[in-house]
Chain A
Amino acid sequence: MNMRARGETLITLAKAGHARGGRPLVEGIDLTIARGEIVTLIGPNGSGKSTTAKMATGVLKPTSGTVIRKPGLTIGYVPQKLSIDWTLPLTVERLMTLTGSFSSGAIEAALSAVGALRLLHAAVQELSGGEFQRVLFARAMIRKPDLLVLDEPVQGVDFSGEVALYELVRQIRDTTGAGILMISHDLHVVMAETDTVLCLNGHVCCRGTPSAVKSSPEYLALFGPRAASTLAIYEHHHDHEHHDDGCVVGKGGAHAHRHHEHAGHGHG
């Protein structure tokens, strides 16, 4: 549908692995992230998603293999559900300059881009889950990052908020051309726009487009029927409420599952 303009390569992992105390957390990861590309890491808890992301961003050094980053790479990070202690007085405005200083014009522009300008003077503790995630997106984007890293970005956000956030991710990719690395705990929150899904379980267990991964036997072996049943529920909501919303959460994947779980209910 839309042109995937492949930009320069930002990060290359070649046979990269990380071991702690002699025990490998992940090994043999081959992965490249280019400008304008969306890469999603999925896998069960402890499968090495965070470790892989940390190797990519340079927080962890690989203990085997190599990781090459474009020199001067700027990274914007959207953390997993962030809880800020009430004792820390923090307005949205102040949060925007947490890791760098920016003009008030830049702050307002970044917040309007995610539709959160009206929250400028609000205390972060008073934001709803969805509002807070938008603000965190704006905070990451104000750095004009080459690479945006999203750690389980929709946790604690309700379904319609989830759809809106994925729409936002797509928009950010399209307007800024940043590379996007997403960590997700389940395939049902993989965006249809994802170029490459890496399914991890201590190693790369399968990879490809969302629909290819979804129907691969390795994926089904890893996630089993539980994932399939959650997906059916999501699919239903999705069809019902957001059919004509172009942006689409878990579209490809859900289809694949319907073949298994609800053959006959049909799609398309």
Chain B
Amino acid sequence: MLADFFSRAIVAGIGLAAVTGPLGCFVVWRRMAYFGDTMAHSALLGVAISLLLSINITFGVFVVAALVAGALLLLQRQNTLSTDALLGLLSHSSLAVGLVLVGFLTTVRFDLMGLLFGDILAVSVNDIFVIYGGGAAILAVLALNWRPLLAATVSPELAEAEGLNPEVSRIVLMLLMALVIAIAMNLVGVLLITSLLIIPAVTARRLSATPEMMALIAAGLGAMAVVGGLYGSLTWDTASGPSIVVAALMIFLISLAVPTARLFGRRPSHGA
């Protein structure tokens, strides 16, 4: 089944969606969308550094994304620049430095478009092992830490007072995001990774009554977007990564028209 490139792409994409769905819920709940974007942009810097040092690219991207996230946390504590400005600073400067460094790598054959927009149709069986291995690790960490992560999201003060550690939760989430970015970069590219985190999660919100339900539905919707996007890209010969994101967007728009969704979470009676 993994013999042809198209089924490999589908299998890889579904594996990725299973992870970005639940993780993306946290990104949405904690308003970390731009934060995720910043980490993703730093992935290009990670690629350049990995090539310069000739180390494994996935590993290099993970380390650089985690370092950028750490740098942001430290800068936030200084309390001099707003988080918004800091994100803009880190996001675009790491992307720019990455692009400049890539320019120096004249000896390495380098597919810049592939990095920016991904090339899911080029995934190898080996890539699939990385996606499913890494994805399983991410989901396991997420499942094991679900309660503290959720409690810290609802109220850090509350979690802290009742003996949990919201600071650790924050770091765990950042590392998971760095990992998912490192894994997903080849598939959808650094510019579109956050869309796979956010769009399925946002779509799932209207269809869910509990956080767990939202995480599962987001994973399912992400997988639908992958399948739909890939068939679309095959049919109309469009770029695969962006097609998946467009499919996710279309699912979101369709979900807006589903009226029953709004009933979830409504109080059963409106009496005083």
Contacts and interface: CB of A to CB of B under 8 A. Distances in A.
A89 B162 contact: no
A132 to B, nearest CB: 12
Interface of A: 54, 57-59, 75-77, 79-80, 82, 84-91, 94-95, 98-100, 118-119, 121-123, 125-126, 143, 149, 151
A262 B157 CA distance: 40
11 contacts: A75-B163, A77-B157, A89-B208, A89-B213, A89-B264, A94-B210, A99-B164, A100-B147, A121-B268, A126-B267, A149-B161
A75 B153 CA distance: 19
A91 B29 contact: no
Interface in B200-258: 201-202, 205, 208-211, 213-214
Nearest to B214: A89
A135 to B, nearest CB: 12
Determine the main DSSP class of B at the interface with A.
helix
Interface string B156-173: 011111111000000000
B142 interface: no
A61 B154 CA distance: 24
Given A99-B147, A121-B268, A91 B162 contact: no
A123 B154 contact: no
Contact of A79 (B157, B211, B267, B268): B157
Residue among A75, A99, A123 with max Cβ neighbours from chain B (10 Å) = A99
Contacts of B155: 79, 82
Contact of A99 (B159, B210, B211, B268): B159
Determine the main DSSP class of A at the interface with B.
loop
Contact of A57 (B161, B164, B209): B161
A100 to B, nearest CB: 8
B70 interface: no
A99 B149 CA distance: 10
A87 B202 contact: yes
Nearest to A88: B29
Interface residues of B, number: 32
Given A90-B211, A99-B151, A75 B161 contact: yes
B109 interface: no
Contact of A89 (B158, B161, B163, B211): B211
B205 A87 contact: yes
Interface string B253-272: 00000000000111111000
A119 B151 contact: no
Interface string B75-95: 000000000000000000000
B267 A122 contact: yes
Contacts of B153: 88
Contacts of B209: 89, 91, 123
Nearest to B265: A123
A100 B148 CA distance: 9
Given A76-B162, A79-B161, 12 more contacts: A82-B158, A87-B205, A88-B29, A88-B154, A89-B205, A89-B264, A98-B147, A122-B267, A123-B209, A123-B264, A143-B162, A151-B157
Contacts of A121: 267-268
B157 A85 contact: no
Nearest to B269: A118
B96 interface: no
Contacts of B158: 77, 79, 82, 98-99
Contacts of A86: 205
Residue among B28, B161, B209 with max Cβ neighbours from chain A (10 Å) = B161
A149 B155 CA distance: 15
A91 B265 CA distance: 7
A122 B266 CA distance: 6
A158 to B, nearest CB: 14
